[in-house]
């Protein structure tokens, strides 16, 4: 699971701290000041971006709107439906490229919800495979001006906080406009990002049509992706485990 556990301590009645443990293939332990509780922002097909996104009833309509409203440590929950990238990214020179869903450092995204759940483990599975959710949350770049469906960061060190993408179907990314645009048309996953329990299909690129990975990819299905080098996955120093490539 993307979720770890947190132990809270009160130091002399003045400061609150959390000890966070993430059970990946290696153990990352982080002690930091956490004065705010995690907030959840909700997205649904019947939502509206003018809503505050703090409940299913007041959900936002676009995934990017929820990401933009969230702060590091928050989560975005996405109900079943098809959602499209709406934010243009820029290359290292500032040139505007195609649309993508831009991940935010420390903000994790979760799909597979019916739109009524209050806990992630209440999501209904349709099969035994980790990517099989009865309610499918699709992130699609099909038939729009899309570069990467999911974009993270081209910074060498990636994200500074653990960031997760879990429970989505990612499709319709196509080769883009600039050098980095040819890397990971479905998902560009930087360091300290985990892609978990996702279906990645029908994406086309040069290096990793499905995903260009510098982070962690776990329990995902890749099929019908195309690329010159790594149709499904191009791995650049990341970790891949428990995945199926067809």
**167 has pLDDT over 70:** yes
Per residue in 70-127, pLDDT tens?
A: 999 999 999 999 999 988 776 655 666 678 899 999 999 999 999 999 999 999 999 9
In this prediction, residues 141-169 reach a mean pLDDT of 89
Given this model, what pLDDT does residue 155 score?
Answer: 82
Mean pLDDT of 210-235: 92
66 SS3 class: helix
Higher pLDDT, 22 or 94: 94
State mean pLDDT over 179-189. 76
pTM tops 0.85, yes or no:
no
**pLDDT average, residue stretch 24-47:** 66
pLDDT of residue 94: 60
Q: Which of 3-17, 33-47, 58-72, 154-168 has the lowest mean pLDDT?
A: 3-17
Q: Is the pLDDT of residue 174 over 50?
A: yes
Task: Find out whether 179 and 210 touch, Cβ atoms under 8 Å.
Answer: no
Q: Phi then psi for 146, rounded to 5 degrees?
A: -110, 140
Q: How many helices (H) and strands (E) does the chain have?
A: 1, 24
Taken in order 93, 207, 219, 139, the sign of the CA dihedral is positive
Is the pLDDT at 23 greater than 90, yes or no?
A: no
Q: Supply the pLDDT for residue 129.
A: 97
Mean pLDDT of the chain: 83
Residues 31-39 have a mean pLDDT of: 59
Distance (Å, whole) CA 219 – CA 165:
12
Closest CA to 101 of 114, 91, 89: 89
> 57 CB contacts (<8 Å, ≥6 apart)?
none
Closest CA to 87 of 111, 67, 106: 67
């Amino acid at each position: 699971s993307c979720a770890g556990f947190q132990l809270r301590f009160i130091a002399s009645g003045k400061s609150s701290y959390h000890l966070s443990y993430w059970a990946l293939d290696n153990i990352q332990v982080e002690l930091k000041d956490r004065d705010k509780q995690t907030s959840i922002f909700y997205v649904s097909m019947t939502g509206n971006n003018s809503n505050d996104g703090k409940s299913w009833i007041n959900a936002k309509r676009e995934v990017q709107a929820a990401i933009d409203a969230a702060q590091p440590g928050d989560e975005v929950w996405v109900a079943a439906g098809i959602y499209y990238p709406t934010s243009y990214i820029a290359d290292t020179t500032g040139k505007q490229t195609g649309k993508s869903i831009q991940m935010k450092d420390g903000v994790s995204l979760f799909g597979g919800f019916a739109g009524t759940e209050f806990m992630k483990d209440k999501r209904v599975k349709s099969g035994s495979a980790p990517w099989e959710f009865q309610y499918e949350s699709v992130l699609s770049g099909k038939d729009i001006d899309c570069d990467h469906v999911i974009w993270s960061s081209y910074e060498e060190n990636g994200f500074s906080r653990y960031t997760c993408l879990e429970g989505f179907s990612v499709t319709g990314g196509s080769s883009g406009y600039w050098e980095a645009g040819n890397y990971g048309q479905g998902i560009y996953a930087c360091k300290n990002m985990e892609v978990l329990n996702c279906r990645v299909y029908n994406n086309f690129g040069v290096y990793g049509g499905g995903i260009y990975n510098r982070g962690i990819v776990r329990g995902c299905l890749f099929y019908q992706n195309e690329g010159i080098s790594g149709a499904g996955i191009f791995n650049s120093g990341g970790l891949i485990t428990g995945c199926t490539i067809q």
